[in-house]
Chains A and B, each alone.
Chain A
Amino acid sequence: MIDDRSLGYLVLLAGHPAVGPRRLRTLLDDGHPEAAWRTVGGRPAADPLAVLAAHRDAGVEILVHHEARYPACLDSDPEPPALLFAAGDPTALDATRVAIVGTRRCTGAGAGFARELGRDLSVAGVAIVSGLALGIDGASHRGVLDAEGRPVGVVGSGLDVVYPARHRDLWTRVRARGLLLSEAPLGARPAAWRFPARNRIIAGLADLVVVVESHAAGGSLHTVKEAADRSIQVMAVPGSVRVPSCAGTNQLIADGCAPVRDATDVLVALGLSAATRAVAADRRPPPDATAAAVLDAFDWEPATLEHLAVRTGLALPELAVALQSLLDAGWIDAEAGWYERVAA
């Protein structure tokens, strides 16, 4: 059992820019954290016990490798984090865990599917691990919250530094319903190097990784590589060959990843019984004949007014009226001149 003073210095070191995950682990195993703190040029006046107290006051638990309450699944990890800062309920990790990851710049259809997958897997009792980023990550956790499941968020900054800022509500809700994890102590800025490091923790925590949408060289493919290094199964959601943000996932499938068409595919791969989700009736008002024709013209790909005018052959006024009614009813979404179909 590590003493409080050494632990305090380790926490200080975890927040120091010169100390990465590997060095921190060496220091935990056989180092002298206090001496190391002086070596890296840390502030001599820093008080290790005060830092520990600050974490306790903020409700942040510090999980130490090889000690009690540290996630069992990371114990045998090739690169386990020396310290994990946790807020929320650590038992969220007891269930089967599926990571849902993907690009921040996704299509509406991709985000809609991620949300659906998060919801359906939660209903089947699976915990969803994700990175709380914009796009696919956030959408999957919103799906978990829709189904009142157990979300596990792994973030790249201190647990009090909300990044991206517009996901503040999501952070609060994930912390309340499940578990928030980070390798960085309170106050750590979201430095660029922390995100690839965060991805290895997501891969290490998961029993299976699902990539919903990824660009040809996207950051999600880094998570895939970490999962492959740990022999964790990766599945990918197929997308249109015309959509750039599906290029990475389609490549994964071409390389031999199993495709995900719905939650059942994931559950079968995990050896679990398929979810029995009562399909709720679509509560959106049904579109009229013209609007239905416009909706059919989407093919679940983003389209501009011009694309739709050409595909449907409708005159602009008719098309415009149909689009307004579809927007009002929530069948489609519009952003900067592009329209997208929205799943139920």
Chain B
Amino acid sequence: MLGVVPSATLLGVDGHAVTVEVHVSSGLPSFTVVGSPDAACREASGRVRAALLSSACEWPMRRVTVNLAPPTVRKVGAGLDLAIAVAILIASEQVEPVAVEGLAFLGELGLDGSLRSVPGTLCLTEALGDRAIVLPAVNAREAGLVGQQPVHGLASLAAVVACLRGQEPWPAGPPPATTVDPPPVPDLADVRGQPVGRYAVEVAAAGGHHLLLMGPPGAGKTMLASRLPGLLPPLADRAALETTRIHSAAGLRLPATGLVRQPPFRAPHHGASSVALVGGGSATMRPGEISAASNGVLFLDELAEFATHVLDALRQPLEEGVVRVARAAATVTFPARFLLVAAMNPCPCGHGGRPGGCRCSDAARARYHRRLSGPLLDRFDLRVEVSRPSVADLMGSARNESTETVRARVLAARAAAAARGVRTNAAIPVQRLDALAPLTAEAEDVLAQALTTGRLSARGLHRVRRVARTIADLQDSPQALTAAHVATALSLRADAAPNPSPRALTA
């Protein structure tokens, strides 16, 4: 007898429809899975058998062949367990074939017959068209986000069988999304003193400019960076769905409200491998940290401690907003449009930024700086030296502007950029700079002087103009950029950061 049940498997952040076919025939009792299963998928036999027996069903003591079609797509993980179990029930005539018409099944089985969650439910649901979906109760709300088909969330295989046999009605759709208040974001008002660091974070949020924070240990670089997501606007529908899909596929916890509406903040440790950062892995093609940070903030603390090849892997996604991961099995494209915030000590001893402050050997400094390639450092529009706040600032009661206040300015500046037809000011194309970021005569003078004295490179010029545009937008001045705007942008871009060797005196 034959049982045929639709299901889906995950590749990257895309679901692929899979047809599970089970054939039960006479012969020596055996269980074979064909059709490119991975190790976890092949082990389905043990789980499905135990789950069926625990759920008062029979295990066919005959020859059982499971085919997962199409064979060209690699089937990953245990998400096909439920579909295999249901197909066996049909093939062994314990359930009528008509019962599964118009249904698709997702879910991993426990040995006691319970249904366990599968990663990437959102992506898998999208791949299943308009079939009603039977899946673990814990995944029901996530599947309901797609909203194009009925979703039946159940807790165990026994409950699924009862519904299939018509003994119980299918449960209604997923529970409505709870409207809990979003968890509190770290407030910018907690940062005492540090007017320049705070302002740099504001400019980064408003213009989408990548930000490098330099400074000695304990200067509050991490504290500043963690304030950034709170300044960004909540994700719009499309961005929210994109980020939710990535988080679903990566197996990250989704918020109780359903879609990821808060810009994500990802801070991978500096020991991260390049696969962990950009995504991949042999079969699963799991999205990496930079994709998880898509539409939000990627924070790399201790930038110079990351392996060089890991950092260089960031250059292409920074440029294109997507990352293409190619493996022998498949090539997948992950979204990766994030705001990069990095923090680093100026040298191994941590005090090298300050002239006369460093005690490291030349070799140690050279080693430290070789890890950062020029092209990567060049991507940072904002490079700011953060110094330790004074005791008076730390103990003083005066609170600075709160996230609430600053966000209002940031949103206005972002709206101004959107009105110009660019996503953020950091994305203004070079050929439109003259139209969108015109300069007053005084501003031109300031830039010309900086260029003549070598403080500014030709490539840096465009970046400074974009930052100056954001600074002007934050002050709500839509006209041409003034000398003050341009000078501020220059001050927020520390030269040749950080200095590669001891101070050289020029003749």
A90 to B152, CA, bound (A): 97
A41 to B487, CA, bound (A): 64
Partner of B485, one of A169, A170, A309, A317: A317
Instruction: Name the interface residues of A313-344: CB closer than 8 Å to any CB of B.
Output: 316-321, 323-324, 327-328, 334-338, 340
Check B457 for interface membership: any CB of A closer than 8 A: no
Number of interface residues of B (CB under 8 A): 47
Contact across chains for B359 and A328 when beta carbons are under 8 A apart: no
A170: which B residues are within 8 A, CB to CB? 507
A323 to B359, CA, bound (A): 28
A335 to B354, CA, bound (A): 9
Q: How far is the CB of B490 from chain A (nearest CB, A)?
A: 6
Partner of A321, one of B387, B487, B495: B487
Check A110 for interface membership: any CB of B closer than 8 A: yes
Which applies to chain A's interface (DSSP): helix, strand, loop or mixed? helix
Q: How far is the CB of A223 from chain B (nearest CB, A)?
A: 18
Choose the segment among A81-89, A239-247, A269-277 that binds chain B (4+ C-beta atoms closer than 8 Å).
Answer: A239-247
New A-B pairs, 20, CB < 8 Å, besides A309-B195, A321-B446, A334-B495: A115-B505, A138-B505, A139-B505, A244-B351, A245-B355, A245-B357, A302-B355, A302-B356, A306-B197, A318-B484, A323-B487, A334-B455, A335-B495, A335-B499, A336-B497, A336-B498, A337-B353, A337-B383, A337-B494, A340-B355
Q: How far is the CB of B139 from chain A (nearest CB, A)?
A: 49
Contact across chains for B484 and A337 when beta carbons are under 8 A apart: no
Contact across chains for A336 and B195 when beta carbons are under 8 A apart: no
Query: Given A337-B353, A337-B497, A320–B385 Cβ distance below 8 Å?
Result: no
Contact across chains for A337 and B487 when beta carbons are under 8 A apart: no
Contact across chains for A306 and B196 when beta carbons are under 8 A apart: yes
Query: How many pairs of A and B residues are in contact by the CB < 8 Å rule?
Result: 139
A67 to B16, CA, bound (A): 91
Seen from chain B, the residues whose Cβ lies within 8 Å of a Cβ on chain A are 193-197, 199, 214, 346, 351, 353-359, 383-387, 390, 446, 449-450, 453, 455, 471, 483-485, 487-488, 490-492, 494-499, 502-505, 507
Can you offer 12 A-B residue contacts whose CB atoms are under 8 A?
Answer: A105-B502, A108-B355, A139-B505, A169-B507, A244-B356, A306-B387, A310-B193, A316-B196, A321-B487, A324-B483, A335-B355, A335-B495
**Beta-carbon nearest neighbor of B199 in chain A:** A316
Contact across chains for B487 and A336 when beta carbons are under 8 A apart: no
Check A107 for interface membership: any CB of B closer than 8 A: yes
Partner of B356, one of A139, A243, A306: A243
Query: Given A142-B507, A169-B507, A336–B496 Cβ distance below 8 Å?
Result: yes
Partner of A304, one of B385, B390, B507: B385
Contact across chains for A336 and B346 when beta carbons are under 8 A apart: yes
- Which 6 residue pairs across A and B have the least CB separation, nearest first? A337-B385, A245-B356, A337-B494, A317-B484, A320-B487, A107-B356
Seen from chain A, the residues whose Cβ lies within 8 Å of a Cβ on chain B are 103-108, 110-111, 115, 134-135, 138-139, 142, 145, 166, 169-170, 213, 215, 243-246, 302, 304-307, 309-310, 316-321, 323-324, 327-328, 334-338, 340
Contact across chains for B499 and A306 when beta carbons are under 8 A apart: no
Contact across chains for A337 and B195 when beta carbons are under 8 A apart: no
**Beta-carbon nearest neighbor of B491 in chain A:** A320
Q: How far is the CB of B477 from chain A (nearest CB, A)?
A: 11
Contact across chains for A324 and B449 when beta carbons are under 8 A apart: yes
Contact across chains for B196 and A103 when beta carbons are under 8 A apart: no
Name the residue among A103, A302, A305, A316 with the largest chain B CB count within 10 angstroms: A305
**Beta-carbon nearest neighbor of B488 in chain A:** A320
Contact across chains for B356 and A246 when beta carbons are under 8 A apart: yes
A22 to B122, CA, bound (A): 79
A338: which B residues are within 8 A, CB to CB? 353-355, 385
B193: which A residues are within 8 A, CB to CB? 306, 310
B387: which A residues are within 8 A, CB to CB? 304, 306-307
Q: How far is the CB of B218 from chain A (nearest CB, A)?
A: 15
Query: Given A316-B491, A337-B353, A337-B494, A166–B504 Cβ distance below 8 Å?
Result: yes
B507: which A residues are within 8 A, CB to CB? 142, 145, 169-170
A107 to B505, CA, bound (A): 11
Contact across chains for B483 and A305 when beta carbons are under 8 A apart: no
**Beta-carbon nearest neighbor of B500 in chain A:** A336
